[in-house]
Every structure is written in C-alpha cells, then in structure tokens.
Amino acid sequence: DGGITQSPKYLFRKEGQNVTLSCEQNLNHDAMYWYRQDPGQGLRLIYYSQIVNDFQKGDIAEGYSVSREKKESFPLTVTSAQKNPTAFYLCASSGTSYNEQFFGPGTRLTVL
C-alpha cells in the first residue's frame, strides 16, 4: 500500500531534550512538508522540501530542524530551543503540479 507513515504516534519528552519525529513515504513524491497543529489554530507550516538535499523554512521554523537525504524520508527534529513543543505534528507529501498533499497519521508530542 502506498502512503505516508509517521512514527511514533505518541511521543513524550523531557524539557531540554531534542527529539526526532519520523516521516516516510513510498509514493515517490518529490515534495514533503511538516506542519504543526494546535487547537483552534489550524495547520502551520514548519519546513518543506521540494527536492532531495534541499529544504526551506515555513512560517514557524524556529526551534526545529530537518534533513532530506533520501526522497522517501523527511525527519523533523524538535530542539530544546522550541519554547512550546507540545502539539500534534503532521507530515505530508506532494507529487503533483497542483500541490495536492497527502497526509500521514500524525505524531502527538508531549513535553513533560
């Protein structure tokens, strides 16, 4: 089955620790995206990558980092510099010129 997988589904982290969220797709899509979702705030774009070895900051990139070494993978690291990291994180990919995006199931990160 083609799709996007995110792991883990739930993640707990202590303050001051970095944590990496996984996102993998087997849709052969060039573009991948990371969003943050908070109650009542919709989706906010963190980072996106339109091609391997290249990525751009989105609207709320501070405190986050990404890499895109393989077409299938776009991991997101939430660093200790992110002031309020508790949120639901969604990964998406797109392979069409119309920018239609396909979403993974999400990872809920809780900072203890």
Q: What is the contact surface with other proteins in residues (CB under 8 A)?
A: 4, 6, 31, 33, 40-43, 45, 48, 50, 58, 88, 90, 92, 94, 98-106, 108
Q: Give least dist CB 105 to other proteins, A.
A: 5
Residue type, 10: Y
Which distant-in-sequence residues (6+ apart) come within 8 Å of 6 by Cβ? Answer: 21, 22, 23, 24, 89, 90, 91, 104, 105, 106, 107
Identify which of residues 1 and 98 has a Cβ nearer to other proteins in the complex: 98
Identify which of residues 16 and 42 has a Cβ nearer to other proteins in the complex: 42
Q: Give least dist CB 91 to other proteins, A.
A: 8
Alpha-carbon distance 10 to 100, whole Å? Answer: 27
Identify which of residues 27 and 45 has a Cβ nearer to other proteins in the complex: 45
Q: Give least dist CB 21 to other proteins, A.
A: 13
Alpha-carbon distance 109 to 112, whole Å? Answer: 10
Residue type, 17: Q
